[in-house]
Amino acid sequence: MARYSETDAAYAQHVFEALLDADVPVFDLPEGVAVPDVELDASDFAVELELLESYRSDAPALIIDGHGPLPIALSLIVPPILGGGIVGPGLHAWRGTHGFDDWANRVMRALATAHDLPRGVELIRREEARAGFLRRGTAFLASRIAAVSDVRHGDWAGATLRLPLRAGQMVVAVPGCDFVVSTDTGGLRVLFSGAYRLTGNNFGHPTSPVSRVLQAGDYFFGVDGGPYGHDIQWDLNAIVTLPGPPSVHLNY
């Protein structure tokens, strides 16, 4: 993971704790730091923790390194009926609908029986999953804050993204990183995830290779499609920190 100051880490932890604990999280952001992706992940994770608690279920996670548990999005355990993961406003807006209840029941049956869980997934206490999310998320956001500060001081030149600083706010220009993913097999779809909660965000397709601008942060990458079908193949051996190397090759 990226290097950052104790001040960056303390501020990032404050933001993540606010996102998890407050109904209406209140925090300021350093200039140029956008967090709509972090807000959505935290909102979805909070809904998942409530759901797991209501069923008295443990949380799915991977133990892959020394940075604590990596929580797994429940949509990777049982994809929603529409497939491809939750889009738009996320689980909070979907909760309470018939579709959500049906999906939640299927997820909980899969967890209760440990049937067809992704390779390497363990069930851990919800408190441990939350601690892993907070620890990893703090590192993710702290590295973003440090990188944006470097941009302001001219230490690296990046691309530009147009994003809201927070969900629902006006879209502005923020710094980003051009990044390229290549694979052994052509025609695959590339997915990416922040390195604090494994999700299935679409990076692009088909691999030939494929490129996109991402914000600064620590990421995992994977692929599906072709010979892998809907079974996502994640490369969890190394965290890709941006800004950093301009590309990664996945051996799939």
Q: What is the pLDDT of residues 190-201, one digit of tens each?
A: 999 999 999 989
Kindly state the DSSP code that residue 227 receives in the 8-state scheme.
G
Residue 1 counted as domain residue: no
Q: What is the pLDDT of residues 120-160, one digit of tens each?
A: 999 999 999 999 999 999 999 999 999 998 887 776 667 88
Please indicate whether residue 216 or residue 155 has the higher confidence score (pLDDT): 216
Residue 135 counted as domain residue: yes
**Peptide bond between residue 209 and the one before it cis (omega within 30 degrees of 0):** yes
The answer to whether the Cα torsion of 76, 84, 82, 40 is positive or negative is positive
Q: How confident is the model at residue 85 (pLDDT cuts 50, 70, 90)?
A: very low
Residue 191 counted as domain residue: yes
84 has pLDDT over 70: no
Range of the domain at 132: 6-250
Model pLDDT, residue 117? 85
Q: How confident is the model at residue 86 (pLDDT cuts 50, 70, 90)?
A: very low
Total domain count for the chain?
1
Q: How confident is the model at residue 2 (pLDDT cuts 50, 70, 90)?
A: low
- The values of phi and psi at residue 102, to 5°, are -65, -45
Q: Where are the beta strands (DSSP E) in the chain?
A: 59-62, 70-71, 122-124, 159-164, 171-183, 189-194, 201-204, 210-214, 217-224, 233-242, 247-250
Residues β-bridged to residue 62? 70
With pLDDT > 70 as the criterion, what percentage of the chain qualifies? 94
Residue 228 counted as domain residue: yes
Residue 192 counted as domain residue: yes
Low-confidence winner among 38-52, 57-71, 157-171, 217-231 (lowest mean pLDDT): 157-171
Q: What is the pLDDT of residues 165-196, one digit of tens each?
A: 998 899 999 999 999 999 999 999 999 999 99
